[in-house]
A and B are shown apart, each in its own frame.
Chain A
Amino acid sequence: MNKLFAFFLAMLLPVVLFAQTPKMGEFTQNEIDLKEISYEPGASAVFLVASGESRFFSNILETNYFYRIKILTEAGKEYADIPIGYFAGSTNVEVVSAIKAQITTYTNGVPEVTTLGKESIFQVDLGNGYKEFRISFPNAQVGSILEFSFKKADKNIEFLDGWSFQRSVPVLFSNYQITMIPQLEYKMIGQGENFYHRSEKSEGNGVYSWTLRDLYSLKGEPYMKNYQDYVDKVEFQLSRYQTAATTSGPEWTDHLNTWEKLGDELIEYYSVRGFYRTNPLEREVLSLDLSKGSQKDKAEIAYYYIRDNFINEGEDLIYTKQTLPQLLKSKKGAPGELMLAYMGILKSQGIECNPVLIGSKGHGRSDIVPFPFLNQFDEILLLVKLDGNLQFLDLSDPLAPFGYVDLDKHVKGGLFLEKNASKLIPIDIRHNSNKLVFSNIKLDTETGDLVIENTIRNYFYEGLASAHLVEILEKNDKPLEELFSEKYDALEIRNVKVDDLLEDKNMYNISFESVLKNAMSEDLIIFNPLQISKFATNPFTQEFRVFPVDFEYAFNETYTANLVIPEGYELDDYPTNESITIPGSPIGFSYSTENLGEIFKITARLEVKNPLIPSSSYGDLKFFMESVSSKLTAPVILKRISIP
């Protein structure tokens, strides 16, 4: 924050406006009578009111928070212990004060109100500048209404926390109001289906207000690991501020108001830390032969040098803890630091390379905000031009081969950093992360066992995921058989082998045998020829869906099983052919059989064309996946025949 800006802020007078803040203890009859949430029955508690009201006092943003919670079940009593976290830092960046709390319990229609004293409010120093107040409500019962309010003063007015509308239990009324002052101009960033389509907005005299009602609780759902990116919220970034008021009107100073300026500040930040200098890196890679080959060859050699000679440790962030010299000395750094060092090596080889800031999956945004808002970015990618082709590169996964980008970074766009020319760019990383499974099924007439020899070819990110699973087992000295969960049934998994071909062929192979012991002891051998699909069990068992289903990327899984009809047996029965999809065809499945004489061939293929399926299609998807799992577990029957 520059001095002029700080000076002007100090000159600002407090702005006092009055908002319709709910008052403690003033309940509606509906709130008193409420016993269950109609759209989320069984909810343990409910936020009857969640309200925040912000306004500026000099160079401080003050927010008054007010919450009213009702306990609906025994489990809801956990909400009687409330943490209020804040970041004080070493200069009291945030200060929480004026905590008030009371609990009201109705007995036979008569309210009993207890106002909490200091003995029920504890302060905890969490370290690193983080602190927390903890309120413990006494006499909390099912039906009790808990209320608490507090004030938070925040010295950071460049980025305003704003408001998240949902909570871990349903919220009936969630309101945020901010009173802007003419001297400061902010960009507002909203997010969420509800925020854009259902919120009640009001605006007047610099007072902006948003209200959402009847919100579902925030809970994890299968195939949605980053639901935080879909939360309804509103945030603000300072765009410009007044520096003087003249007769011709106010004069304004821009504060991060172009992508170019934002980009230049980041580049400056990295430059000060040495990451745009190439000399130290040239010395670092003296031992590498980067004189020959294509740019891609050189980039690959440098990638493996960094990946294998530096310890990848620390949080993946856009900010660096170390300078380049410190990184080169410690040989240990966070992914962002390693990537910036890698950029330096590539630049030293004359390769065009720039950082791209992205908001990774789970950082809180599903779409990029179309104006310069730094908080939306949390991680770095590199965009590199290799032999005329643009390619995104990443160094966040110590197991990943050259060219792989962490899946959390497969987002829609990012901020490309280039001096005086930073801009938003789309990110479209294509790959064929498919799975091919070949099975060869034979009857071992000596042992009487039915042996299914399986080979799984996992491509690209599917392969990388397998490599990680295997690494965990190896680190813990566990047998590879544990790749397949123990089902405690007749099929025994044995002879598991892996073959890591990711670097050369983008392929990770796993082979194993599944053995049905003493199969020949029965006249009918009934077995499932397809052994390993994770979709053999329908993952979608929930009644409804709040968030979209996210398969992360388009892929297909193909299963081919060849059954050698054993001597003395005939193919008695097998599953029927099937081909299904859901409206819009984002996902499809086919199952077919073919009789080739001594060989009976079964082919199944699941294809996910559109990896993000909206919650409105959940019912169809659920039914579809049940049909898929049923088919993937359908049996083939061999029947013993008399040998002539």
Chain B
Amino acid sequence: MLKVLLAIFLFTENYLPEDTTSVQKEVSSFSTLTQKQTLTINSDYTYTLVDERKLFITSPSGLKHATTILGYDQLNEVNSFELEIKDGLTGKSLKRARLKDMGDAPYISSFSVFEDFRYKFYEVTAVKYPIEVTVRSEVSSKTNFFLPVWLPTPHSNQKVTQSSFAVNYPTELGLKYKEINLSSEKSETVANGMTTLTWSGKNLAAYAIRPDSKLVLAPVKFKLDQYQGEMTDWSELAAWQYELNKGRDVLPEDFKAKVLAMVEGVEEPYEKVKILYSYLQKNFRYVSIQLGIGGWQTMTAADVVNNAYGDCKALTNLMKAMLETVGIASNYTLVRAGSDAKEIELDFPAPQFNHVILQVPTDGNPIWLECTSNVLPAGFLGEFTRDRHVLVTKEGGGFLTKTPAYNTEGWNLIQSQSKVSIDLQGNATITSNQQLYGNFSESMLWVKNKLDERGQRDFLNRTSAISGLIVRNYTIEILKLDSLPKSEITYEGVVQKFTQATAKRVVLKSFLGKLTPDHLANKSLKLVDQYEIELPEAWQPDGNFPEVNLKEDNLSGILTVSLEGKMLKVRREISIHLPEKLEKEQETELLRKINTAFDRTILLSKSTLSSTLSPSL
């Protein structure tokens, strides 16, 4: 469910795999690079980037290092491209290529219906090695809102002989930069109202995973289309974003009347938000159309009303306008979305975002709305946007704040109550009721809304801790306890081979389910499972029932098993609160400890033994 603006990000950020660890082993290189990039920002806020590079490629694996990809759209142009391939030993020219020789393709995202972003590309081929590839390309942009990123080492398994990046800009416009893991030398000159900053690095070693070393830039004064702004601090950037959308939230009068009618007689602000958010979810769908400045500027609310679809900007803007109509102020908020998205650079105010959500201030905690979701409760953010810094935009300014982390027990609770009746063959019937709260309910939203009945039944069968479950009848209810999502699953079914017959006994292996990293993803877990298992008359306990009592700093767990008549009662309760930082090894060890502790088998004796057993003991 990736949303919006990725195309723009592709211009500014090279999304090759990055190594974020500090120590790496040097490896052999497939190519050696000498590169010089010159970025010239003009006083009319346009820029030109000239990239001159020479690669010495020693093996086929290095060919992709010479691939050139130059994006373009309504705001960006490819001006020139020249390439020459020479025999690396003799220097003989083997091939030349120009702009007309480049391939051309659209950038096709999985989420956009239409976008104007395309790219030109050239892939180098060779019949023998080594080869020397010289490339000169020039691209220009009508805006300095997004500036290129410099990667001293663009690829893994690439040595760099020399790499430099120079940026010339009108001193009056200003420029900000952030060096991330950069060891390059920087120089600065100022002359005739232009400042030149140059970074250069030499003899950089090759690594198996490209080091996370880069220079990121952002303008102080900028212009996108006719919208001028400054991004000295986050507030200025937020103010500019507000101005960019200003006037685009006007609703048609009849729609306004409809909105007012929906909340007539409702006093409580959250109730109003809930009603309007539900209306948005039910009647508008997410459709991404990205054209030019439309990557940052919303469609008008009237167009969204007319089409009943829009992208994240459009749906958020519409929701904001609807709330405004009923007297509730809200703030259009920029976020870097993605379940595994990196945190933004907090000390570097710049357009680091790819999605928009809505913040509704209240006297207490704000209400957060993910306006592209048709299923989340009002006030709950999914893993796509929760627990991260976001930029709240307001007229005249704005501020960074953090979305909720939902890392307390109430947001991470799983409960289940099951009744099982076993027959003499070890097969069973089962009725079960499970309640998932908060984060754990989020995955059930997908099951409920995206799968058909066959798929839902299969999901229950496949993911059940009980092997051999065949669900007959079931219900999946999604409830919204204000902003807390709750999923309630009930089913009845049969379980093939719930117990296993051995030579002497009936074995009831652990059926409580193992914990996985998913259970710990939100640093908090409360898990309570209860079973009432009706045994056949002829079965009796063999030995003591297992019992578990774990008590540690971050963990408590109890397993109790008791027999009342022919009813076996099993209860497992686990409570976990993890520190913010937990290494992968520590997490694995914790899971292993918990699963080992609760992996208990219940042994039962039968009154008659099977006559088919062969070996005697």
Contact = CB atoms under 8 A, between A and B. Distances in A.
Interface in A451-492: 477, 486-490
Contact of B615 (A120, A537, A595, A634): A595
Contacts of B125: 330
B208 interface: yes
Interface string B189-220: 00000000000000000001000000000000
B592 A573 contact: no
A635 B601 contact: yes
B309 A543 contact: no
Interface stretch (B222-230, B252-260, B454-462): B454-462
Contacts of B458: 541-543
B283 to A, nearest CB: 7
Contacts of A600: 615
Nearest to A536: B467
A127 B103 contact: yes
Interface stretch (A37-45, A48-56, A191-199, A495-503): A37-45
Interface string B81-111: 0000000000000000000000111101000
Interface in A540-557: 541-544
A567 interface: no
A77 interface: yes
B455 to A, nearest CB: 7
A115 interface: no
Contacts of B516: 488
B514 interface: yes
A378 interface: no
A572 B505 CA distance: 10
B617 A576 contact: no
Given A488-B591, A526-B601, A630 B285 contact: no
B108 A126 contact: yes
B208 A477 contact: yes
Contact of B588 (A486, A544, A627, A635): A486
B127 A330 contact: yes
A489 B496 contact: no
A521 B507 CA distance: 20
B612 interface: yes
Given A330-B127, A544-B454, A572 B614 contact: no
A362 interface: no
Interface in B223-244: none
A576 B287 contact: no
B588 A488 contact: yes
Contact of A122 (B113, B496, B504, B596): B113
A592 B503 CA distance: 12
Nearest to B509: A635
Interface string B582-604: 00000010011001100101010
B453 interface: yes
Contacts of B455: 42, 219
Interface stretch (B268-276, B400-408, B444-452): B444-452
Interface string B108-139: 10000110000000000101000000000000
B60 interface: yes
Contact of A80 (B106, B285, B504): B285
B468 interface: yes
B554 interface: no
Interface in B381-435: none
Q: Interface size bucket, B side? A: 35 or more
Nearest to A544: B454
B610 interface: yes
Interface in A199-241: 217, 219
A488 B515 contact: yes
Interface string A572-603: 11111100000000000000111100001000
Contacts of A265: none
Given A41-B453, A537-B467, A542-B454, A138 B307 contact: yes
Contacts of A572: 504, 617
Contacts of B596: 489-490
- Candidate in B285, B452, B500 with the most chain A CB atoms within 10 angstroms: B452
A40 B308 CA distance: 29
A125 B106 contact: yes
Most buried by A among B114, B451, B516: B114
Contacts of A543: 454, 457-458
Nearest to B501: A576
B464 to A, nearest CB: 9
Interface in A361-404: none
B606 to A, nearest CB: 11
A538 B515 contact: no
A570 interface: yes
B567 interface: no
B374 interface: yes
Contact of A134 (B114, B309, B462): B114
A127 B106 CA distance: 7
Contacts of B208: 477
Interface string B482-521: 0000000000000011001111110101000011110000
A292 interface: no
Nearest to B461: A541
Contact of B468 (A42, A486, A576, A630): A630
Interface in A141-180: 141
Contact of B616 (A331, A538, A595, A631): A595
Contacts of A125: 106
A574 B502 contact: yes
A570 B468 CA distance: 31
Contacts of A487: 514, 595
B21 interface: no
A626 interface: yes
B375 interface: yes
A626 B114 CA distance: 48
B467 A629 contact: yes
Contacts of B462: 541
Given A122-B289, A630-B467, A630-B468, 14 more contacts: A40-B453, A75-B449, A120-B307, A136-B289, A139-B308, A141-B283, A330-B125, A486-B588, A489-B592, A489-B599, A573-B507, A595-B616, A627-B496, A634-B507
Q: Which 6 A-B pairs have the closest CB atoms?
A: A42-B452, A595-B615, A42-B453, A127-B105, A630-B497, A490-B596
15 contacts: A40-B453, A44-B452, A80-B309, A81-B287, A122-B113, A126-B105, A136-B309, A331-B127, A488-B517, A488-B592, A538-B467, A543-B458, A594-B614, A595-B615, A630-B467
